[in-house]
Every structure is written in C-alpha cells, then in structure tokens.
Amino acid sequence: MHSFSSVGGAIATGTHGSGVGNGNLSTAVAALELVTGRGDVLHISRADPRFEGVVVGLGMLGITTRVTLDIQPSYQVQQDVYVDLPWEAALGAFAEIVSAAYSVSLFGGWADATLKQVWLKSRLPEGSVTPLTMPAEFHGAVATGDKVMSPAGDDLDNTTVQGGVPGPWSERLPHFRADVTPSNGDEIQTEYFVPLEHAVSALTAVRALGERIDPHLLVTELRTVAADALWLSPANGRDPLAIHFTWHNDPEPVRALLPEIEAALAPFSPRPHWGKWYTLTAEEIAAQYERMADFRALADEFDPRGVFRNAYSERVLGLA
Ligand SMILES: Cc1cc2nc3c(=O)[nH]c(=O)nc-3n(C[C@H](O)[C@H](O)[C@H](O)COP(=O)(O)OP(=O)(O)OC[C@H]3O[C@@H](n4cnc5c(N)ncnc54)[C@H](O)[C@@H]3O)c2cc1C
C-alpha cells in the first residue's frame, strides 16, 4: 500500500518540500470549497479575511471538497547528489548551503562526523533542457555518479532520477517515484520547525543528543521553507528550518525521546509538523502561533457543535 498524501491532507497540515524561496504546498491554494460543521457549503478565497485561517485547518473547520490552486508553466529540474558533508562544514556555512539550489535537502544522522547525503535540486532556466554543470565538490562533500537508494534504507530502490539529468519538475522535486513505496514504508516520523536564523544553535543542541537519537533513527532530513501568512502554518511569519526524523517503527523509545528533543529545541521556538509525532502540549504550541486564538474562534464559528473535534484537537489545539 502506498502512502502518498491526499491533496486535502497535504493542504490541511502545511505539508512542505524544501527551498528557501519555496512556500509550503498550502500557499498554492487560491480558493477552497468547504462543507463546514454547520453543514453549509462555503466558498472562500484570498479576498476573505478568514482565508488565511482556513487553509491549514487540520480538518477542524470542515471537509474540503474543491480546491483552486495557483499554477505556473512546467519547468525542468535536475538532481545532483553529494555524499559525506562534514557536519562542521554544514554548520559553518549553513545559510549558504541551504540556498545553493532551488531545493536543498541534507540527510544523515546526528552522532556521525558527516551528513551522508546532500541533494541539490536545481531549476533550469526557462525553456532550457541543457544540464547545468555542477561542481565535483560541495563544501567538502563529493559528487556521486552512483544512484543513491532511499535515504531511509540502503536496499530500497525508490528514488527519482538523479545524476544531473534534467526532467519535468514533477519527476525531480519528489524524492520518491510514484510507483513504489516512498521513504522506508515501516517508520515513524517527527519534524520540528525553528526559525532559520537559529539553525546552527538548534542543530548543535540536537547533536548533543546524537548518541541517544541515532540508534532509533533511519535518517534525518534538513530542509527549509519560505515564510507565509497562513495562521496555523509552521512557516507562519518566519522562514523555518525543518528538522525531520524518520524513526524505526519502535514506538516506545521514540515516544521517550521526543520530550528530550523538544527540551533541546525549546529555546528556539519550535513548532511541530501537524501530521507527525510530537509531545508538545496545546499550551506550548499556542505560544508559537500569534493567530491561535483567532483560529479557535474560527473553529467555533465554522463548527459550533464540535463535529470535527476529537482527542487530537484537544491535545494539540485545546479544542475539546
Ligand atoms: C512517506 C511519507 C512521506 C512524507 N513526506 C512529507 C514531506 O515531504 N513533507 C511534509 O511536510 N510532510 C510529509 N509527510 C507527512 C504528510 O504529508 C502529512 O502528514 C499529510 O498531512 C498527510 O496527508 P494525508 O492525506 O495522508 O493525511 P490524513 O491523515 O488523511 O489527513 C491529515 C489531516 O488533514 C485533514 N484532512 C485530510 N483531508 C481533508 C479534507 N478533504 N478536508 C479537510 N481536512 C482534511 C485531516 O483531518 C487531518 O487532520 C510524509 C508522510 C509520509 C508517510
């Protein structure tokens, strides 16, 4: 069974890719049709002052039944993979590294001296299909001509075409091919967003837990997202670094580790990925979202009987 997200689920949780200039997927929404908790059919677009509260709605406001997305002409992207980026080099030039291509992902563990892979996804100039020439070395990491397998499992051949071969964005920006199980397939995921300006301090704080984290980790991925104005978007009002953990499917040790990681990140104003595992409380989360009270008011307006509320909405949003 493949586990790609639905458009509705991706939008409702602020699902993202990477790139300092790329907003999350929810930012492409221009209008929505929603069946609210009152049973009304609501059409809402950017002109409505409530729109920015509705898009990342976590399913708490209603059921999205139609979506209007911004589109643009297709474009070409190439992926180039480098291996063994020293952590020291990564931390020494972090802002430069994550800005080095249209979309940049760093993969690895926390206790090692190097990050195992850097993926640079470069957007080609409009109309061009000529491969860009990339350097043989990238901040001490070395270009690999070999195809890399899943970052979350060396024996899993599920990645899209790499090796600097241009192709349509839809076959290069996703890490994983659409015809196979993505990532590992037997895993737990966690992700925290911290302001990019705190990246080095936040990563250093998590690295101090590296020996505790790595035995339970399949891989970490570091990405960036452009700031937006959606009330419950993890990128609301700040350009974040997204610190992701793909865990072995061992719930107990993972559950035990999360509060330690959250404590390490606490000085850096972390926000959790709504669709992944975390133990931050509704109070801690509300402290990171200026518009949380407005969102709760919106939930009361759209769903006065609490049709869409559940244990999750109570735990993370305080909506009982
Ligand atoms: C292998 C894998 C890779 C992933 N990669 C990424 C990644 O690269 N970036 C990233 O940010 N996340 C990633 N995720 C997380 C995933 O994108 C999010 O959890 C996403 O929300 C899942 O969407 P879904 O439709 O599967 O979820 P669901 O569990 O169905 O929905 C998630 C939320 O959206 C709401 N929702 C769903 N449909 C609707 C609707 N029609 N109307 C209103 N609300 C709705 C639900 O109520 C729920 O609150 C990944 C997850 C997996 C398993």
Question: Comparing C-alpha atoms, which of 279, 280, 309, 284 is closest to residue 296?
Answer: 309
Tens digit of pLDDT for each residue in 125-156? Answer: 999 999 999 999 999 999 998 889 999 998 89
Taking the whole predicted model, whether its pTM rises above 0.95 is answered as yes
Which residue puts its alpha carbon closest to atom 49 of ligand 1?
Answer: 58
What are the pocket residues of ligand 1 if the criterion is a CB atom closer than 6 Å to any ligand atom? 3, 5-6, 8-10, 12-13, 15-16, 58-59, 63-64, 182-183, 189, 273, 275
The yes-or-no answer to whether 2-72+290-317 and 73-181 have a common fold is no
Q: Is the pLDDT of residue 221 over 90?
A: yes
Question: Which CATH number applies to 2-72+290-317: 3.30.1160.10, 3.40.50.1860, 3.30.465.10, 3.40.50.720?
Answer: 3.30.465.10
Closest ligand 1 atom to residue 58 Cα is 49
Specify the CATH class of 73-181 in words. Answer: alpha beta
Pocket test residue of 5, 54, 183, 303 for ligand 1, highest count of atoms within 8 A of CB: 5
Q: Is the pLDDT of residue 282 over 80?
A: yes
Residue that has been written with the tokens 């390490």 in this structure:
264
Q: Is the pLDDT of residue 1 over 50?
A: no
Q: Is the pLDDT of residue 3 over 80?
A: no
C-alpha 191 – ligand 1 centre gap (Å): 13
pLDDT on residue 41:
98
Pocket test residue of 6, 61, 159, 243 for ligand 1, highest count of atoms within 8 A of CB: 6
Domain extents in the chain: 2-72+290-317, 73-181
Q: Is the pLDDT of residue 158 over 90?
A: yes
pLDDT on residue 4:
56
Percentage of the chain modeled with pLDDT above 90: 96
